[in-house]
Structure 1
Amino acid sequence: MNYLIGAIGIVVFLLLAWAVSSDKKNVRWPYIGIMLVIQFLLAFLLLKTPGGVWLVDKLATGFGFLLAYAAEGVNFVFPNMVNLNEKGEAMNNFFTQVLLPITFISALIGILQYLRILPFIIKYLGLAISKINGMGKLESYNAVASAILGQSEVFISLKKQLPYIPKHRLYTLTASAMSTVSLSIVGAYFQMIKPEYVVTAIVLNLFGGFIIASIINPYRVSDEEENEVIMNEEGEKQSFFEMLGEYILDGFKVAIIVGAMLIGYIALIAMLNGIVDAVTPGKFNFQTLLGYVFAPLAFLTGIAWDDAVRAGSIMATKLVSNEFVAMLDVQNMVKNGKGELSERSIGIVSVFLVSFANFSSIGIIAGAIKSLNDKQGDVVARFGLKLLYGATLVSFISAAIAGFFL
C-alpha cells in the first residue's frame, strides 16, 4: 500500500509543478521519464545493492577520518569546550564536533580546486549529464558544481557568464543550487543522520532539480546560444596560501553563520511552541500545527498515516528554518529512542531534509548573485517563492523515490 501511495505521490508532485509551468504545452515529458527511471535506478543501487552499501560505507569511513583530523585543530583552539554528562563522560558538542569541522573540509575543497581536480570533475560530469537531461551544458555544469561548491559559491565560477544569462535559464541555475547541498557540510550531515540517506538524497536531487525545472520552466537551448556559453573558471590567479586562507575563512564563516541561524531559529520555534501551547494547553504546539498542514504531503511520499503528522512537522520545520534544525529533531528522536517514527519514515524524512530548500535560501542565493551582478540579483529575488516551491517539490520526489527501497 505504501508503494502505491508513493507512486501516486510522485504523480501529484509532478502535477503540482506542471500547475505553475510557464509553458504547459512544451514540457518535454520523454526526458522527464528518462530522468525518473535514472532516479529509481540510482536509489536502488545505493540503498539495496552490496556495491551501493559498500560505497556509502567507504564514504562515511572516509569522512570519519577527515573529521578526526579536523578534531585535532578544533581541540587545539577550543580545548575546554566539551560537555560532560552526569558520569563525567564526554558528550557531543554541536558547535565543535559538527560545525567547526566545516572549516577543514572547506580547506580541502580549496586545495582540490587549486589543483584543478574539482573543475575537471565538474566540467566533464556536467557534460555527460547534459546528454541525458536535454538541457544546456551551462545548466548541467551548474548542477554538479552546486553539489560540490555550494549554493552561493557556485555563481562565482559563472560570474563572467552571469550578465548574459536570460531569465528562464537563470531560474534553472538557481533551482539546481537550492536543491543540492555543498560538499563542505556533508560531513556534518553524516554525524546527524545516516550516511546512506545523505548520499542518496544528493544523487536524487541532482536529477530531481532538472525534472522540476523542466516542468516549471520548459525551454530549449539553441545551438547558437549553446556555443555562446564559454565555461571559464579562471579568475585572478592566487598563490596557494592565498587560496588556502580564503577557503579556511570561508569555511569558518559558514560554521558561524549556521550556528547563528540555529540559535535564532530554534529560539523562535521554541517561543512559537510556547505561545501555541499557552493558547491550547497540552494539546498543540507550533510544530504540531505545521505537521497537520504538511501531513498529506508527507503521506504522499509513502509514509504511513500514523507517522504523517510527526513527519510533516519535521519537513515543515526544515522549510521555515533550515535542514540543521530539522536534522537535530531527527537525531534527538533516534538517540532518545522515542519511537515517534518508524525506521522507514525516518529514512524518507531524512532524504527530504538533505537540500537547501528553505525560505532563508532565497535571500542567500539572491544576495550572492546580486553581489556579482545587481540586475540579475533582482531578477532572482522576484521569482524567489517560485524557486522555493520548485526546490521543495524536488525534495518531495526524492523522498518518495527513496521510500520504495526503504
Structure 2
Amino acid sequence: MIYGLCWAWSEKRKLFPWKVVIGATVMQFVFALILFGIPFIRSILFRANDVVDGLQAATRAGTGFVFGYVGDNVAGAELMDGTPPPLFFFQILPIVIVVAALSAMLWHWGILKWITNGFAFIFRRGMGLGGATSLAVSANVFMGMTEAPVLIRPYIKGMTRSELLIMMTAGFATIAGSVLVVYGSFLEGKMANPLAQLLTASIMAAPAAVAVALTMIPETTPATERMKEPDFNYASTMDAFSRGATDGLQIVFNIATMLIAALALLWLVNAGLGALPDVAGAPLSIERILGWIFAPLMYMVGVPMEEAAKSGSLMGVKTVLTEFVAFLQLAEVPPDAMDPRTRMITAHAVCGFANFGSMGILIGGLSIIEPSRRDDFLSLSWRTLVAGTFATCLSAAVVGALPYQLFAGHAG
C-alpha cells in the first residue's frame, strides 16, 4: 500500500523499480533477523542499554562538576527532600555532547568509517547504487542528515535528481547517533531494549529510503562510479574530540531552541482549540486532530484500529513539530495505556528526521555544501518529507510483521 502511494506520485510510473523494492524489503527482514535472530549478535545488541547507562553516568560526572547539583540528581537529592526530576537542559541534553565527541574520535580511529563503508558495500551490491550515493545512505545511519553529505561533497554537483532524492530521503528516514542515545534513554523502562530497537530502526530504514525514493523518481542513467576515500578527516584524536564536542554543543542549543518554540506553539494551538466546543465528549487538541489524520497510515503498518489514533497522534506530532517531542510524549504514555507491540511499532515509525523543521535545516545545509543544486534541493523537499515518513513506516511494518518476542526478549 505504501509503495502504491509512492508510485502514484512517481515522475515515471512506467518505470516501477520492482527489483529495488523487493530487494529493499528482503534486506529489511534480513537486517532484523540477523540483528535480533542470531543469539550472539542479539546478546551484544541487547547490551546497548548498558551503554546508555554508562554514557549517562559519564555525562553526570561532567555536568555535576560544571553545574553542581543542578547537573547531578544525586547531589540534588542530598539538598532536597527526595530525588528531584532531572533538569532537561543540564542533565539530559549534555549526553549529546559526549556522544558527538566519542563519534568523532571513532571516525578518526577508523572504526566508524569501517562500519559505514561496510554498509555502503551492502547497498552498492544489493541495490545497485553508485559509490557516492551508497556511502551517503550508509553514513546517514550513524551521522546527521547534514553531516553525511559532507562525505560526498565533490560528487553532489553531478548527481541525478533521483540520487539527490535518495540522499535526502536517507537523511529524513534515519536519526543521528548523537540523539539516538537520548531517545533510547527516554524509553528506558518504557519499552523493551529501546536503544537496540532504535538503532535497528535506523539501519532498516536505509534500504526503505532507497526504494521509496526510486519509486518516486526512478533512475534512468547509469549509477555513478565507486568514489575515492572521502575527504573528511581530523588532524588528531584531540582535534576529533574537541571538534566533536563543539559540534555536539551546537546540536544541544539547536534542540533546546526547537523544543522551546515547538512546545510553546503546541500550547498556543491547544489553547485556541480548547475554546471550541468539545468533540466526541473531549476537548479538541492538535494531538487528537493529528491522530485522526495519521490513524489510517498507522493502521496500514500494523497498529490495531483501536490504538491507531493514539499512535497516529505521535506520528503527527513528529511530522508537524519534531521527533524529539514525539519521543517525549511516547515516553509519557503509561504502560497500561498502549499495547507493548503498538509502542514498538510507533517507536520505529517516529524514528526519523522527517518533519517540517528539518526541511529548512536540510535545505540550508545542503545549499551550503553545493550551492549550484539549491533549486533541486528545494523542488525535492516535499517529496523528501513524504518519502522519509514512508520509509520509517515501512520499517515499522516489518517489525510489526515479525514476532514481538523477537525484539522484546532479554539477553542471557
Equivalent residue letter for 1:94: F
Q: Say if 1:178 and 1:355, in contact at 8 Å, map to a contact too.
A: yes
Give the alignment of 1:248-397 within 5 angstroms.
Answer: 248-281=245-278, 282-334=282-334, 337=335, 339-397=336-394
Query: For 1:93, which of 87, 112, 125 is the aligned residue?
Result: 87
Counterparts of 1:374 and 1:45, CA distance in 2: 40
Counterparts of 2:102 and 2:355, CA distance in 1: 27
**TM-score, length-scaled by structure 2:** 0.88
Q: Say if 2:315 and 2:346, in contact at 8 Å, map to a contact too.
A: yes
| 1:78 match: secondary structure | helix
For 1:213, the equivalent position in structure 2 comes to: 213
Which structure has more relative contact order (CA 8 Å, sep 6+)? It is 1
For 1:28, the equivalent position in structure 2 comes to: 17
Equivalent residue letter for 2:256: G
**TM-score, length-scaled by structure 1:** 0.89
- Deviation digits for residues 194-238 of structure 1, max 9, x if unmatched? 22431231121011111211211211552xx633x5334225863
Structure 2 runs not aligned, ≥5 long: 188-193, 405-412
Equivalent residue letter for 2:115: I
**Cα shift at 1:163:** 2.1
**Cα shift at 1:384:** 0.5
For 2:62, the equivalent position in structure 1 comes to: 73
Counterparts of 1:264 and 1:189, CA distance in 2: 19
**Cα shift at 1:45:** 4.4
Q: How many residues align?
A: 389
- Deviation digits for residues 22-79 of structure 1, max 9, x if unmatched? 2222222123212212212333444566445423212221232223212211221122
Query: For 1:226, which of 206, 224, 227 is the aligned residue?
Result: 224
RMSD: 2.1
Note closer, same or farther for the CA distance 1:101–1:22 as it changes in structure 2 (3 Å cut). same
Counterparts of 2:264 and 2:126, CA distance in 1: 44
Note closer, same or farther for the CA distance 1:52–1:341 as it changes in structure 2 (3 Å cut). farther
Equivalent residue letter for 2:146: S
**Cα shift at 1:88:** 1.6
Note closer, same or farther for the CA distance 1:200–1:238 as it changes in structure 2 (3 Å cut). closer
Q: Say if 1:47 and 1:53, in contact at 8 Å, map to a contact too.
A: yes
Q: Say if 2:318 and 2:355, in contact at 8 Å, map to a contact too.
A: yes
Counterparts of 1:23 and 1:137, CA distance in 2: 24
For 1:127, the equivalent position in structure 2 comes to: 121
Q: Say if 1:47 and 1:196, in contact at 8 Å, map to a contact too.
A: no
For 2:400, the equivalent position in structure 1 comes to: 403
Note closer, same or farther for the CA distance 1:306–1:49 as it changes in structure 2 (3 Å cut). farther
Note closer, same or farther for the CA distance 1:48–1:340 as it changes in structure 2 (3 Å cut). farther
**Cα shift at 1:87:** 4.7
Counterparts of 1:125 and 1:294, CA distance in 2: 32
Q: Say if 1:27 and 1:218, in contact at 8 Å, map to a contact too.
A: yes
Q: Say if 2:132 and 2:152, in contact at 8 Å, map to a contact too.
A: no
Structure 1 runs not aligned, ≥5 long: 1-11
Counterparts of 1:159 and 1:38, CA distance in 2: 27
